[in-house]
Amino acid sequence: MKMIMAVVQDQDSNRLSNALMDHNFRSTKLASTGGFLKSGNTTFLIGVDDIRVEKALQVIRDNCKSRDQMVAPVSPMGGNADSYVPYPVEVEVGGATVFVLPVEQFHHF
């Protein structure tokens, strides 16, 4: 068994949740915050049998898309002004950041 942890954009989370359900995957959604943009995203925990990992990845791929997002400048507030960028910059936020972890034990009481 594997645990898939997928960080996705909030805009895709309902669609992904429904698609996972349609394909008989069980999942848990956690509200999370990206360390860089400091804005909300959604982390899915999906426990799957090894033979279904590829299918789950395909469902994630099909339902999450990358988008460009503007990052507002933040004052260095006494920090290193050398790295301060005084204008908004655009970053491409990926459709999904996915980790596949081995599961040592699974219990469902």
Give me the residues that bind ligand 2BA (CB under 6 A), please: 7, 34-37, 41, 91-94, 97
Encoding tokens for residue 78? 């006494």
Minimum CB distance to ligand 2BA smaller for 33 or for 49: 33
Minimum CB distance to ligand 2BA smaller for 49 or for 67: 67
CB of 91 to ligand 2BA, least distance (A): 4
Distance in angstroms (rounded) separating the CA atoms of residues 30 and 7 = 9
CB of 89 to ligand 2BA, least distance (A): 9
Q: What kind and span of H or E run contains 63? A: helix 53-63
